[in-house]
Structure 1
């Protein structure tokens, strides 16, 4: 029994072909949009590439770019097919191509769905990558004279200013690393030497942060040194002076920014998937209805279209039996060609009769 069987008149078939032609061209535009979104996401990730480490998350934009290009090609071909199918006599030139086209389009729409799910599912990988990358960038913040690292100070400072954040998880992260280069430490001062010696790893650790952590909305001049020392500043209580520094960590700020981008892209891809699925359904109805017209021999007659000619279980059994039969035929061919000792019966006597002997 056919699944979702629908009867079409000639007028309905022609209108269906015309609508599908328009929808396929719209799908070409959506494919270009997917391609553009992939490029945009790739640029955003590369822009923050110095602050990411551990995981390669380029596979998401790469997949969006590939899906966008394939969407343009498939829907361009689909538009040409549907345009010709307005005239049922031109369907013959596409008859053998339409079923493989529908199968390929089905797997393509599945890839679009996977792309949408990947956009929503990369949150944890992105968080881990940012956590490792920011920690590493902060560790090399002071290495302004080291090739390959000299740009990290500028990158981190601009990040903290742009996203109004400080540190990885918060401003106290700067207390745990040496972010001031030894080049700018006065070794003649006993305080500096004692601080270096007091640390096991010989690092100069302070309760201070870079200037880029300063909150521009603070009503008082920024306090970025001796942050935890209340007596070092007039009318100051570091536990309540939340306006002095940015409280949000940069990992959270970047993650929120990327999450917003990924959710927007994922929603767009999901809408595109639903649209592609509806176009695929219409093309399937058009194909089966036109094939039934050819069987009937009258191009003006009514015909039935369906998604599956048989039920889902029957279709699965049929496909399995076809696969098994192909496997058996391959085994038989392999046995005949591979065994040189197989006796091939002679037909010479049967052909030529007794006189041949």
Structure 2
């Protein structure tokens, strides 16, 4: 029994073909939108790629870009097909193309849904990538003389100023690394020598942060060093007083920024998926209705259209049987290749076992 069967007159078929022709050209525009969204996200990730570890973060923008290009191609072809659907004679030229076209459109529509879901499920991968990338970038903050790393100080400073953040998880991350280059340390100073000797790795560690962590809206002068030493500053308590540096970590700030972008893109992609799903439904109805018209031979007659010719269960069983038969056919072809009568097996006597050494064709 057909699923969601609808009866179409010639007028209804012509109107559906015209609507689908318009919708397919609209879908070309949605394909451009998908491509643009993927390109925008890829550029945003590329801007701060130094702050991210190598991973699968680019899978989402690459997916959207690919789906956008495919959407433009498929819907451009669909526009030509449905322009001819009002004429039965012209439609007969596309009769063999319709089923592969619907299958490709279904796969493409499903890919849009996958892209929308990926926009909402990439938060954990993004968070891990930002954590590892920022951790390594902060370590190289002081390496302004080393090629390949000399730009990181400026990048991190601009990041902390622009996103109003400090460190990876927070400002205390700067306490655990040497962020002051050795070239700016007075090695004749006893205090600096003592600090270097007191650390196992010989690093110059201070309870201070770079200038880019400062909050310009703070009412008191900036405190850069001895942030946790209350006695070093007048009327100061770092536990209770609001610090004059940014408290939020840059990982959290960047994660919130990219999460907002990906949620917005995910919503847009989800709406596009719903639109493409409605177009696919109309395509299926028109294809089945026009096929039945060709079977009857009367272009003016009424015809039935449906989503599935049989029930969901019967369709699933039929597809599963096809897959099983394909598997059996592959097994039979493999076995027949092994038992080729034109091949003779030569063996070498090694004790009591016969070991095949070479297969050669039998002599005619």
Fold-level similarity (TM above 0.5): yes
Whole-Å Cα distance in 1 between the matches of residues 82 and 12 of structure 2? 14
- Report the structure, 1 or 2, having the larger strand content: 2
Unaligned runs of 5+ in 1: 342-357
1:136 aligns to what SS in structure 2?
Answer: helix
Q: Please list the CA deviations of residues 290-322 of structure 1 after superposition, one character each: whole Å capped at 9, or x if unmatched.
A: 111111221111111001111122223333444
Whole-Å Cα distance in 2 between the matches of residues 115 and 5 of structure 1? 31
Whole-Å Cα distance in 1 between the matches of residues 166 and 318 of structure 2? 63
Whole-Å Cα distance in 1 between the matches of residues 188 and 175 of structure 2? 23
Question: Who is 1:2 aligned against?
Answer: 2
User: How many residue pairs align between the two structures?
Assistant: 342
Whole-Å Cα distance in 1 between the matches of residues 10 and 226 of structure 2? 84
Question: Who is 1:250 aligned against?
Answer: 250
State how 1:331-346 maps to structure 2 within 5 Å: 331=332, 335=336, 339-340=340-341
Moved more, 322-331 or 287-296: 322-331
Q: Please list the CA deviations of residues 192-220 of structure 1 after superposition, one character each: whole Å capped at 9, or x if unmatched.
A: 11111111111111111000000010112
Question: Who is 1:100 aligned against?
Answer: 100
Question: Who is 2:268 aligned against?
Answer: 268
Question: Who is 2:353 aligned against?
Answer: none
Please state how far the C-alpha of 1:325 moved relative to its aligned partner: 5.2
Whole-Å Cα distance in 1 between the matches of residues 313 and 220 of structure 2? 74
Kindly report the root-mean-square deviation, in angstroms, between the aligned alpha carbons of the 2 structures.
2.0
Please state how far the C-alpha of 1:179 moved relative to its aligned partner: 0.5
Contact 1:289 1:305 in 2 (8 A): yes
Question: Who is 1:198 aligned against?
Answer: 198
Q: Report the CA distance shift for 1:333/1:39 in structure 2 as closer, same or farther (over 3 A).
A: closer
Whole-Å Cα distance in 2 between the matches of residues 89 and 220 of structure 1? 83
Tell me the TM-score normalized by structure 2: 0.89
Question: Who is 2:219 aligned against?
Answer: 219
Tell me the TM-score normalized by structure 1: 0.91
Whole-Å Cα distance in 1 between the matches of residues 267 and 133 of structure 2? 28
1:64 aligns with 2:54: no
State how 1:77-116 maps to structure 2 within 5 Å: 77-116=77-116
Q: Please list the CA deviations of residues 173-202 of structure 1 after superposition, one character each: whole Å capped at 9, or x if unmatched.
A: 111111111111111111111111111111
Question: Who is 1:350 aligned against?
Answer: none
Contact 1:54 1:132 in 2 (8 A): no
Question: Who is 1:305 aligned against?
Answer: 305
Please state how far the C-alpha of 1:240 moved relative to its aligned partner: 2.9
1:94 aligns to what SS in structure 2?
Answer: helix
Whole-Å Cα distance in 2 between the matches of residues 136 and 242 of structure 1? 29
